[in-house]
Amino acid sequence: MAEIIVVTSGKGGVGKTTTSASLASGLARRGKRVAVIDFDVGLRNLDLIMGCERRVVYDFVNVVTGEASLKQALIRDKRFDSLHVLAASQTRDKDALTREGVERVLKELADDGFDYIVCDSPAGIEKGAFLAMYFADQAVVVVNPEVSSVRDSDRILGLLASKTRRAENGERVKEFLLLTRYSPSRVGTGEMLSIGDVEEVLGLKTIGVIPESPDVLNASNKGEPVILDMESSAGQAYDDAVARLMGEERPMRFTQVEKKGFFTKIFGG
């Protein structure tokens, strides 16, 4: 059975698509067969971050409406043979997605032997976001450590607990917290909420802390998920998150202010 993971948040611009691309690539790098789907109908950013935008012929809506087969629409990643991308439509309305159509696509992917299906949700609580989370087994809630992002994510948790297929069956979606753009120095000065603050408000276990880093934007501009840049702190942090998602124990890195060494104090830097 395929494990369906929704990457969601209440607020836009927190790094959902970056997270979806990195989680999918990280799982594929570990030998898993992975499909990642862009549910953000009308905008479509996942294919850009995955570096396959020029190879999009058919999209998710084409498959849902029967205008194309799933095989025609899936784009094989150039780096991992086991990773496939299903792009969103830029020209359709969000109402083009239906619950029945989405369920059919997810079932076909599961029947085709995919281990993981990562659903990149649009922000907020409109139809695309609802459909992205409805069939989920696990949810990665992406949050910036600021009050508005945390508050909006609390609303998403309410929907995960009440408006999903698992909730209707009396079960729970497994929920995890992933903090992005985390800066220990800003936490220290009180400009940013700490990991403990966010966990306490949302009642979630943290699966990853992604440090504030220019490497994230650089990777996106190059069409490469940042997890593939293992020289960067952000890439390493996403790799840690994937490991924890698969049940491994890893220490939480990049959460403390780096102490300056003796020579750095004397010579600067």
Q: Can you say which residues are annotated as belonging to the binding site?
A: 11-18
Which 3-state string (H, E, C) describes 5-63? Answer: EEEECCCCCCCHHHHHHHHHHHHHHCCCCEEEEECCCCCCCHHHHCCCHHHCCCCHHHH
3-state DSSP percent of the chain in helix, strand and coil, to 5: 45, 15, 40
Task: Say if CB 234 and CB 240 are below 8 A apart.
Answer: no
Beta bridge partners of 77: none
User: How many other CB atoms are there within 10 angstroms of residue 163's CB atom?
Assistant: 13
Residues in the chain: 269
Q: Which residues are annotated as part of the binding site for ATP?
A: 11-18
Classify the C-alpha dihedral 8-101-158-3 as positive or negative: negative
What is the amino acid identity at position 194?
S
